[in-house]
């Protein structure tokens, strides 16, 4: 289905029959991607007396309890409630779900201390200077299906420097998506400078902005402009599992 949309005075055509899912599946597989020192997801049938919520064990239906952490297991979208003293729910703060988004690919820079980072220079060289995107999607190199089976705990993955966040803020980016488990260093003493800078917390806090982490963008998906459908589960929590879907615009 071809549709025409308008954004910032421009007309785009979108084929809604060609979605590109950039979320990671949530699975109990021990090799599924996870982070923050958490075990794999658990999905266990409910047991009440002689009744079991598993058809293969004689139950009438499958009725499972799922134990997981949205920040640690797979693709998730978070709001400022992730770092704030005040309670904010991503379900209340994310009110729109379609955005013009720009996909860029970046090779993180190596620092003298061995860290790999995304800098101001990285972003300025990758971003389209004329783009009117509301969301930015960052695919890091090297990239491959191994990102779907990685335990990031104690690996110090690449992260964004505050100067890179300043570039995004200056461009009016409302939604930041990345294929790493965090936009900040794995262990930074609790500073979370990139998170604070993106949400302008605690002064002039931007409640409508979100960060989505642990996406996966296959190599065959080209850099450029897309229509982003940012889908979340309606958890009243700072973060929710999410399913970002892209549609190429023309």
What is the C-alpha separation between 57 and 79, in angstroms, rounded?
A: 40
Q: What is the pLDDT of residue 118?
A: 98
Q: What is the pLDDT of residue 138?
A: 98
Q: What is the pLDDT of residue 186?
A: 98
DSSP 222: P
Decide if 137 is inside a domain: yes
Q: What is the CA radius of gyration of the chain?
A: 19
Q: What is the pLDDT of residue 41?
A: 98
Decide if 46 is inside a domain: no
Q: What is the pLDDT of residue 133?
A: 96
Q: What is the pLDDT of residue 1?
A: 81
Contact (CB, 8 A) for 186 and 206 = no
Q: What is the pLDDT of residue 9?
A: 87
pLDDT digits (tens, 9 = 90+) for 26-56: 999 999 999 999 999 999 999 999 999 999 9
- H or E stretch covering 126: helix 120-126
Which residues, given as ranges, of the chain have pLDDT below 70?
none
Decide if 130 is inside a domain: yes
CATH number for the domain that contains residue 102 = 3.50.30.50
- Note the Cα 133 to chain centre separation in Å: 17
Decide if 116 is inside a domain: yes
With b for 16 or more beta-carbon neighbours within 10 A and e for fewer, the 198-233 pattern comes to bbebeeeeebebbbbbbbbbeeebeeebbbbbbbbe
Q: What is the pLDDT of residue 218?
A: 98
- H or E stretch covering 14: strand 10-15
Decide if 125 is inside a domain: yes
Question: What's the domain count of the chain?
Answer: 1
pTM to 2 decimal places: 0.97
- Of the candidates 117, 195, 122, the one whose C-alpha atom is nearest the C-alpha of residue 159 is 117
Q: What is the pLDDT of residue 141?
A: 98
Contact (CB, 8 A) for 80 and 196 = no
Decide if 58 is inside a domain: no
pLDDT digits (tens, 9 = 90+) for 73-100: 999 999 999 999 999 999 999 999 999 9
Q: What is the pLDDT of residue 75?
A: 98
Domain of 10? 2-32+70-248
Q: What is the pLDDT of residue 89?
A: 98
Q: Which residue has the tokens 């309890």?
A: 65
Q: What is the pLDDT of residue 243?
A: 98
Contacts (Cβ under 8 Å, ≥6 apart) of 223: 102, 103, 104, 105, 126, 139
Decide if 74 is inside a domain: yes
Q: What is the pLDDT of residue 8?
A: 87
**Pairing outcome for strands 109-110 and 47-48:** unpaired
Decide if 232 is inside a domain: yes
DSSP 73: B
């Amino acid at each position: 289905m071809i549709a025409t949309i308008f954004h910032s005075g421009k007309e785009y055509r979108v084929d809604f029959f060609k979605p590109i899912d950039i979320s990671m599946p949530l699975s109990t597989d021990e090799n599924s991607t996870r982070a923050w020192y958490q075990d794999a997801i658990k999905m266990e049938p409910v047991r009440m007396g002689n009744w079991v919520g598993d058809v293969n064990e004689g139950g009438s239906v499958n009725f499972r309890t799922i134990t997981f952490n949205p920040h640690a297991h797979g693709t998730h979208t978070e709001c400022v409630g992730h770092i704030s003293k005040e309670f904010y729910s991503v379900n209340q703060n994310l009110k729109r779900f379609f955005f013009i988004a720009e996909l860029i690919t970046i090779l993180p820079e190596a620092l003298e201390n061995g860290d790999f980072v995304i800098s101001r220079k990285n972003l300025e060289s990758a971003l389209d200077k004329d783009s009117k995107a509301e969301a930015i999607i960052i695919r890091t190199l090297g990239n491959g299906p191994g990102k779907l089976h990685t335990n990031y705990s104690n690996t110090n993955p690449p992260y964004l420097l505050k100067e890179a966040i300043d570039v995004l803020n200056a461009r009016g980016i409302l939604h930041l998506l990345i294929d790493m488990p965090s936009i900040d260093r794995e262990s930074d003493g609790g500073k979370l400078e990139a998170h604070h800078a993106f949400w302008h917390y605690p002064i002039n806090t931007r409640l409508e902005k979100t960060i989505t982490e642990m996406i996966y963008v296959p190599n065959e998906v080209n850099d450029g402009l897309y229509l982003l459908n940012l889908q979340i589960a309606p958890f009243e929590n700072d973060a929710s599992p999410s399913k970002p879907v892209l549609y190429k615009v023309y």
